[in-house]
Amino acid sequence: MTIPVKQLSDPAVREFVTALNANDESALFEAMTPGATMSDDGSDRDVREWLDREVFASRGHMDVVSEADGGRSLVADYRNDTWGSMRTKWVFTVDGGKVSRFETGQA
């Protein structure tokens, strides 16, 4: 059972996931603060390079399974053309209504 994106609790996270699932690069960067940061499995990565590789070039998509912490912590089935499907966790930091950091990794 997945949670429809439009029902995610945090508006900034909802905007981020909506843009990611639409493979909409401009909307995804609009959902983040300038200078936003991220980590993948505990290692900081360059946001633009990671999104280009793991989302845009490989058609990444999140099916959210659960949320916690007011919608800023998600468990999702993430899939892309490179890695297939895997259970992942996502933790978001939101500042001023935009995502300033996200951390992801296998759940």
Q: Which CATH class is domain 5-106?
A: alpha beta
Q: Using CA atoms, how far apart are residues 94 and 77, in angstroms rounded to an integer?
A: 22
Tens of pLDDT, residue by residue over 44-54, are 999 999 999 99
Task: Beginning with the edge strand found earlier in the chain, give each strand of the sheet holding 98-106 in spatial order.
Answer: 43-45, 32-40, 98-106, 84-95, 73-80, 61-68
**Global pTM value:** 0.96
Tens of pLDDT, residue by residue over 25-41, are 999 999 999 999 999 99
Tens of pLDDT, residue by residue over 53-96, are 999 999 999 999 999 999 999 999 999 999 999 999 999 999 99
Q: Using CA atoms, how far apart are residues 60 and 80, in angstroms rounded to an integer?
A: 4
